[in-house]
Amino acid sequence: MMKPHIYFNSNIDSPEEWKAALSQHFPNMQYSVGEICDDPDSVDVALVWKLPNRGLADFKNLKAVLSLGAGINQLDPARLPRHVPLARLVDDSLTQTMVEYAKAATFRYHRKFHLFERQTREARWTFVPATIARDTSVGVLGLGELGGAIAKALATEGFNVSGWSRSQKDIEGIATYCGQSGLAEMLAVSDIVINVLPLTDDTRSILNEEFFVQCKRGACLINMGRGHHLVDADLLAAIDAGQIQAATLDVATVEPLPPAHPFWMHPAILVTPHVAGISTPESASVAVAQNIRRALNGEPLAQQVNVSRGY
Ligand code: NDP
Ligand code: OXD
């Protein structure tokens, strides 16, 4: 029976819940949490949302770094030991919650709840006609595990869905694009744009003035990727200019979003506190346990990150 030594570090995930979930798979595991690890040489696997302040260099026999997130940018990949493979999280509970969030935010704009919320505060009974889903075009940035699932789910709801990725994709029922000209083509027709890209050198600040200029006038933005995809001031200017109608922002450059940030009080912006995708330890520990077994057996990890590509 495997007896891995698992090191856990996260400021947003419960170490106790993860311990309970992992001990179902490894009843005799050793489990260390937090900044100080008493027996660093015996650590086999680091399961982390963020790196501890000291990094992972003390763990001389580390066999794998497993991210508690689908994204890995928060791990500061430049500080990771280069010879140790890194895997990201892919999990049904995470995918399902991301899909639910995307659907909720899309339907809110499609059925104009964002306008009715404002009218309610103003005690204003103004009829705004409904349109049907096929008349609303949704463009999804990123067609990986999450973006692909979101695009398919929205297409199943009847929306006119397109998607953009680095390599050309072929997904039934979705118009797919890649490259800068593909992006421009997609943005020109999208009523709602959903960002679910990973944060890399190529995608940092992608949601900027130049991007908003290419959007259909009055488009709504849903940012479920990372805060650093968005240039905050450019969004505010695009909303002021009427180019972007409204935005739903689940992620921020600084989290928690500071109290004085202009997004909080903006009538066209809805902020949610990085809750779009939530993985439960019970569900996510299945894939994590498989990767721990692979690491201990010296096998390649599933969902291994290409660190030079950034995702
Ligand atoms: P994947 O790696 O499965 O997919 C990434 C997608 O983005 C791929 O389709 C990829 O293209 C595309 N892409 C990457 N770089 C570029 C680029 N330069 N230009 C165009 N397309 C690009 O990631 P996931 O779907 O699992 O996760 C995506 C992101 O979602 C995470 O990195 C994280 O930032 C965010 N996230 C947010 C959460 C939240 O709660 N708000 C929760 C979970 C994740 P290709 O297919 O060609 O490689
Ligand atoms: C993730 C996240 O990347 O929760 O999984 O943001």
Gap between the Cα atoms of 151 and 91, Å rounded: 17
CATH number of the structural domain spanning residue 214 = 3.40.50.720
Do 82 and 216 lie in a common domain?
no
What domain count does the chain have?
2
Q: In 95-104, which positions are buried (b, 16+ CB within 10 angstroms) versus exposed (e)? A: bbbbbebbbe
Asked if the model's pLDDT at residue 260 lies above 90, the reply is yes
pLDDT confidence tier of residue 213, bands split at 50, 70 and 90: very high
pLDDT confidence tier of residue 195, bands split at 50, 70 and 90: very high
**Residue 311 within a domain:** no
Do 136 and 283 lie in a common domain?
no
Asked if the model's pLDDT at residue 1 lies above 90, the reply is no
Do 258 and 287 lie in a common domain?
no
pTM of the model: 0.97
Do 121 and 11 lie in a common domain?
no
**Residue 309 within a domain:** no
Could you list the beta-strand ranges (E) of 17-136: 30-33, 45-48, 64-67, 86-87
User: Is 229 among the residues known to form the active site?
Assistant: no
Only one residue has tokens 């990727």, namely: 225
* pLDDT tens, position by position, 86-98: 999 999 999 999 9
Gap between the Cα atoms of 142 and 84, Å rounded: 27
**Residue 302 within a domain:** no
pLDDT confidence tier of residue 259, bands split at 50, 70 and 90: very high
Domain that holds residue 76: 5-91+279-296
Kindly list the protein residues whose Cβ atom lies closer than 6 A to any atom of ligand 1: 70-71, 94, 98, 142-147, 164-167, 196-200, 202-203, 224-226, 250-251, 274, 276-277, 311
User: Is 217 among the residues known to form the active site?
Assistant: no
- The contacts of residue 18 (CB under 8 Å, 6+ apart) are 8, 47, 281, 285
Do 104 and 62 lie in a common domain?
no
* pLDDT tens, position by position, 156-173: 999 999 999 999 999 999
